[in-house]
Amino acid sequence: MQLTEFKNKVYPLRHKVFRLAKWMLNHDEEAEDVAQEIMLKAWTMRDKLSSYKSIEALLITMTKNLCLDKIKTMRYSTSNILFLKIESTVPSQLERILSQEDETIIRQIVEELPEQQRLVIRLRSIEELSFDEVSEITGLTINNIRVTLSRARKTIHERYQKYMGNEKK
Amino acid sequence: MKKNEIDQLIKKYHEGNTSEAEDRMLEEILMNDSSEEHISERKVMAFFTTERSAGLSAQFDSRFMKAIGKSPLRKSKMLMVWTIGIAASIAIFTVVVYLFNGYDRQVQNKTITTGLNERKEIQLPDGSTVFLNHKSAIRYDEDFEERKITLTGEAYFDVKSDKKNPFKINTLGSVTEVVGTSFNLMSNDENGVVELSVVKGSVTFSAYKDQLQERVFLSAGNQAVFDRKKNSMKKYEVSDPNILAWKTGLLVFDDSRIEEVALMLGRYFDHQVIVDNKALLNCHFNARFQKPSLSEVLDLLSFTMNIKSEIKGDTIKLYGNGCSQ
């Protein structure tokens, strides 16, 4: 794979890698280091990349594993993920729809989901990976992913609606 | 889309059965809907989009480029190779930087520009047509293998349908991607605004700046405005019949407020039009022109609403006593 192709197909994935690492490690700088490491690994194996079905799934899996290793060895705290400060570059259209408070509440609801649901929601709804890719990363069957996704989505909406109902009273 | 179709789609979404395309469609529908009904779905979708907008800065890029520039392509055990290695790594680094900046292909490209008050109709190699407004330019690879164009200024595009090879237009950090359709695209370098208005078919419009990567899907009658300075992307229904005035020569004012009239005349005649007295903001203008001259329009403003004007260089000042409600 030539540099141009790498630049077009692989390098744009760095943001996804970073977001996943940031979410797993709850640490911006560590997540950036992980993204560097993963992108460099991808660069060194650039000649083999085209033989993979989905480069995206490959990089996300590598990221997941690297983060899990880091968590094991360094015992990152992931407990205070709810209080993470959000990025300030939210587009204005979104700001109108989603207040800071909404965002905190929804984040809390999503983070309280069982681990597998959290991961599937993240890969599918946030990172927009295909069912095939999510299956490759998580090892779940596509049918299982659909069920997990459905449970997660229903729970999120039920809990959020309940919260909104309480607010109105 | 009808209400029951949306409800069906949301049900499917909750059951985990929507495809990627359906997810995107649902997101698009919910984001542009302001009713109370699907408020929780809308907010959750907005949350996902917000999460997706976090990204890495340009610092990361230079760090990465340095890293791949420094690592020699093949590891050598010989000491002598070291000096060559260092020289080579500097060379590689330079090449990498060069390539990342996009000078990676040496295909002949063609540039077409228009001067003041000059307009051009251009046939592209793929059969698409571009009407280039004045003081604008397009650039594309002569072979046009990839249907890719860079635009400065304003143009109207009539794109020949080719589903396998999308047509892409880069302008001011935004990308407009289409299959086959007609639309007007205007970029203003001075205020950093890109405005896209779709006449026929559908268009995907995305903007990249810093960490914002926003994508909107537009169909006929929609308009998107990307503001580079505010880092914002907004979508509207097009109600302005004058978007294509520069091309058709038809200028229509239908109970238009004076600010709109000023904006449109400014655009059409390439002047800056200033409304000097707030009292004028009450005025509404009704008129229809076919390739008018500036004085023709100003005369009618004066005649119908007693709005006076003063032209100094590039600036037109409108003043007067205003209109009664």
Q: Which tops the pLDDT comparison, A146 or B268?
A: A146
pLDDT band at B75 (very low <50, low <70, confident <90, very high): very low
Say which residue, B112 or B199, is predicted with more confidence. Answer: B112
Could you tell me which residues come within 8 angstroms of residue A56 by beta carbon, excluding any fewer than 6 positions away?
A: A13, A16, A129, A133
Alpha-carbon distances of B99 from A14, B58, B65, B211, B281, rounded to whole Å: 18, 16, 10, 22, 52
The region of weakest confidence among B100-109, B165-174, B198-207 is B100-109
ipTM: 0.82
Residues of A in contact with B39 (CB under 8 A): 164
Q: What is the pLDDT of residues B255-279, one digit of tens each?
A: 888 888 888 888 888 888 888 877 8
Q: Which helix (H) or strand (E) holds B5?
A: helix B3-14
Mark out the alpha helices in B76-181 (DSSP H runs): 81-100
In angstroms and rounded to an integer, the radius of gyration of the C-alpha atoms of chain B is: 25
Judge: A40–B64 Cβ closer than 8 Å, yes or no.
yes
The tens digit of pLDDT for each residue in A61-106 reads: 999 999 888 877 765 444 333 333 333 333 445 566 777 778 888 8
Average confidence score pLDDT of chain B = 79
Nearest to B66 by CA among B41, B30, B37, B90: B90
Q: Which residues of chain B lie closer than 8 angstroms to A22, CB-CB?
A: 54
Instruction: Determine contact: B31 vs chain A, CB below 8 A.
Output: yes
Rg (C-alpha) for chain A, rounded Å, is: 17
Q: Do A125 and B23 touch (CB under 8 A)?
A: yes
Local structure of B139: helix, strand or coil: strand
Find, among A43, A122, A37, the residue nearest to B54 by Cα. A122
Residue A75's pLDDT is: 52
DSSP state of B105: -
Q: Which residues in chain A are closer than 8 Å to B53, comparing Cβ atoms? A: 87, 89-91, 94
In this predicted structure, what is the pLDDT of residue A76? 45
Residue A7 has pLDDT above 90, yes or no: no
